[in-house]
Amino acid sequence: MMRIPLYITFLLLCVSISVNAQTPDILAKDVLEGPTVRLTGEVTGLNTIGLQSNDQAITSASANTPGIYVSKKNSYYANTTLNILFNPVSTVDVYAKLLARYRPGSPYIPLQLAQTSSENFTLSVDSVYGRVNVIKGLGSGNPLGLFIKMGKYDTAPSNFQSISRYGVELVLSKLRTNNIFAIQIEATYPLVWADSFGLSLTTNPMWNEAITRIDSSSGTTISDKFDIPLHLALKIRKISTPLGPVSTEFLYVYNAQDIYSGNNFGLDAGWEIKIPDIAGLTIPVGLGFAFYEKNIDPFAASALDTNESSYFTTDPNDQNTTSFRQALRTGCALGLRYIPSSSFRTEFNAGYAISQVAHAYRETIIVNSLSLDMRLFYKNSFFIGGGLYLGTLANVEWKTNSADPVIVNYSSIFRPRENMGYEAFAGIQLMNARFVIGYNCNRGLSMGHTIESISDGQVKYLQKGTSQSDNLYEAGGIFTRLTVSW
């Protein structure tokens, strides 16, 4: 991310005085009539009071390890984003996102937790791009949309299968480019039986000099060997059916996550089923499949090479993700949305994923994960809710195979109780602001999955009654959260 001087911040705040507030979701909007400016943003604060005992401190890790309990177990997280969308004419988008964040961060723990750095509220330009509608720019009335987009941005899945609040079913989540300098060509066309058909191709302008190759035997980067990143997406939005719209997407990503990860595929679909005989009842259904070839830990949602190694362990097979091989994942979810009256609204969700993950030096494992969550709203102002996340439904042993040249007898057993997370909360919604108070505890494989709490905003501890050698960790506590959006 690029740092920006204070005077630019002042100018942007001056601009915001003269711009009307809009909804936060601006990236997926159609091209606006110009010249117009849209300014949106969000401020989130999360405070967590850790209830862990002193013997749950992690004292064996490096001093550079982010987000662990050494001497302080309480934590604070603050995040603010400012999105600016400027249309000088109706065929051109200019977008910028400014970001400032304070957080303790997290260490990388294989299969369990993504590494995020600690941050101290430095204002930066997170992403910026220009986008032009070529067909409309030429004055044609053709319904075909042809867009060229360049800048620094992330190309991510649409996640049509997203239903649950924990997101266990989001098996396509790492089929993305990451926030890189990119060029994209996208075509869209309206259909009689669907809102639109879309096809996009995204790559880095450096082409075959953009991705550093990784030696498959040693896991080290090869400084003079490079490859090309490529993101291809084919999607159909809101296919008409008698029971409600269906949206689907196919992805092919070569070197996903801006790392030398090979060929990666994904397919997902989401269906909003409306029950004709029961007013106010909707049943969303989601299904997704994903294949990752190598060097990505999809369970921990991480892609680290030897230049980004974790400080959390001395085992070379656990310091980055270059020893991971093929992963095949399937995720599905089912929801229930019911509005019995103008005063009440209920929401129930169930998510499930089965994952087969291979490793160069460890046995292939199969993990089944399940989540349940619910929320109850009263007059769209008060709400309560909670959830349960089961990182594994059965004991899974991850142990050394015969190819491991370094660690002879590594073995780690993932048990359901040590990889379970739960959360309960209550809150109030006041126009564009919402305040939540709750409690969460997330262990092992559940640490990266929360509802109202934020995983990289909480300190990580040893699980109660365990020692450093057990390598069992958890996060959570009593939290309060305030989010204001405009």
Q: What residue ranges do the domains of the chain occupy? A: 2-485
Give one DSSP letter per residue of 14-53, joined into a string. Answer: HHHHTS-B--S--TTSPPPPSSEEEEEEEEEEEEEE----
Q: Give the per-residue pLDDT at 382.
A: 97
Task: Tell me yes or no: is domain 2-485 CATH 1.10.3470.
Answer: no
pLDDT tens, residue by residue, 139-166? 888 999 999 999 999 999 999 999 999 9
The whole-angstrom separation of Cα 411 and Cα 115 is 22
pLDDT tens, residue by residue, 99-119? 999 999 999 999 999 999 999
Contact between residue 176 and residue 256 where contact means Cβ atoms under 8 Å apart? yes
Query: Is 28's pLDDT higher than 50?
Result: no
Among 187, 352, 324, smallest CA distance to 264 is for 324
Q: What's the whole-model pTM score?
A: 0.89
pLDDT tens, residue by residue, 66-97? 899 988 889 999 999 999 999 999 899 999 99
Beta bridge partners of 382: 378, 428
- Which strand (E) or helix (H) includes residue 13? helix 6-17
Secondary structure of 246-278 in the HEC alphabet? EEEEEEEEECHHHCCCCEEEEEEEEEEEECCCC
Contact between residue 303 and residue 296 where contact means Cβ atoms under 8 Å apart? yes
pLDDT tens, residue by residue, 245-301? 999 999 999 999 999 999 999 999 999 999 888 888 999 999 999 999 999 999 999
